[in-house]
Amino acid sequence: MHSILKVLALSYKNTPLEIRELLAFNENDSKSFLRNVKSMLGIQEAMVVSTCNRTEIYYASQQDLSSDLVKIMKIEKGIATSENLANYFESIVDSMEAARHLFRVSLGLEAQVIGDIQIGNQVKNAYQWSADEAMAGPFLHRLMHSIFFSNKKVVQQTSFRDGAASVSYVAVDYIKDLVNNFEDPKVLVIGLGEIGEDVVRNLGDHFKGEVCLTNRTQAKANDLAAEYGFKTIPFESFPEEIEKYDAIVSSIRADQTIIDKELLSEVSILRHKFFFDLSVPRSIANNIEEIPGVLLYNIDSIRQKANDTLEERKKAIPAVEKIIEDSIEELNSWSKEMEVSPTIHKLKNALEEIRQNELARHLKKMNEKEAELMDTVTKGMMQKIIKLPVLQLKAACQRGEAETLIDVLNDLFDLERQVKKEQ
């Protein structure tokens, strides 16, 4: 490919959560990092994709700058650990493979939950932050718009994005369906581990009612609630607060159930109340369904629905990969043509210089009308003359034979002189 695209990447596949947390980048972190790699390494084109499951640096360079990028990351994040973080990263230095990797990440093929729709928005944000820092060049612009177009084709032509495919997303999907007709629906989330946090983020993205969070560590509940404008209550007070909520999601880690029939016996059930137990071991006792108006959804039923959706998505993977390969082929063709664009530019300038010089020799002999006619005629001639060399250059690019033709044109029209004149 024309752009020497590379990627330095770590993901949930080989990196523990505590390391991913250390290297997670928000908008300010990403922009600061981009400014640093530009000033310290001279990189002119780069993008940072950072989610809870991955941190990836895409950059254009002739050299593999992986070790330098890891050092700047550690400085940026203030990481003093002696652990060799570079061991968690994979470096992809082949431009075609780096582009293909970004396609796969953006479209959800590399997501922890296959087909995850959130990653597409996260990549869009990363692209915007890169553009804000003037670090998105012609190749990255073209690559990203090709990805956006491919994403539309995946949605329109495949079942890859159909249905909810994670436990947290399924739970939120159930909640929306069950309380959709309630006036002022309210949800309480108990426990903010990895699953509980995912539930909160899905509620923040897809639920319009009131949401309240409670957690043994109050600071985490406060931080997450502030991010989405949600409420919090102290963990020890949730038993008295349950009555206020229509849906209660528990993903708490506990040795025994924290919600049972006895706890709910004093609760006034004025309309249906829905409980979702995402904990292992279970944190909500099955006997709560003995109370009229109370329904319980456990991790097994929710996971089964997610698994059914995942199976359908997996069937669509070959169609998604075909869309990606078609897009990569188009991008590669465009990239090859970019290799000859400087030569085309110099050839046009050389022919225009000849045209202008010849016009200047005869202008004194022509009146204004004749001069305009001559200008029009010679422009048309130049466009016809240059058309075939341009087509031949582009065709030679696709065959991988452009270098010989470029040398011939350089010799015929002394194109290197054009470069010196422009400098």
Instruction: Write out the catalytic residue numbers.
Output: 52
| 278 DSSP 8-state letter | -
Report the C-alpha gap between 36 and 25 in whole angstroms. 14
Helix (H) or strand (E) holding 273: strand 273-277
Q: Which two tokens stand for residue 65?
A: 């700058």
Is the dihedral angle over the CA atoms 265, 267, 273, 275 positive or is it negative? negative
Q: Are 250 and 275 in contact (CB under 8 A)?
A: yes
Report the C-alpha gap between 270 and 159 in whole angstroms. 40
Exposure b/e, 26-40, CB count within 10 A at least 16 = b: eeebbbebbebbbee
Report the C-alpha gap between 20 and 368 in whole angstroms. 71
Q: Are 8 and 50 in contact (CB under 8 A)?
A: no
Strands, DSSP E only, in 52-191?
54-60, 90-92, 186-190
Report the C-alpha gap between 386 and 380 in whole angstroms. 10
Report the C-alpha gap between 408 and 319 in whole angstroms. 43
Closest CA to 37 of 77, 6, 69: 69
Between CA 80 and CA 9, with CA 135 as vertex, the angle to 5 degrees is 45
Residue 44: φ, ψ to 5°: -105, -15
> What residues contact 210, with CB distance under 8 A and at least 6 apart?
184, 185, 186, 187, 231
Closest CA to 231 of 216, 215, 253: 215
Is the dihedral angle over the CA atoms 165, 169, 171, 177 positive or is it negative? negative
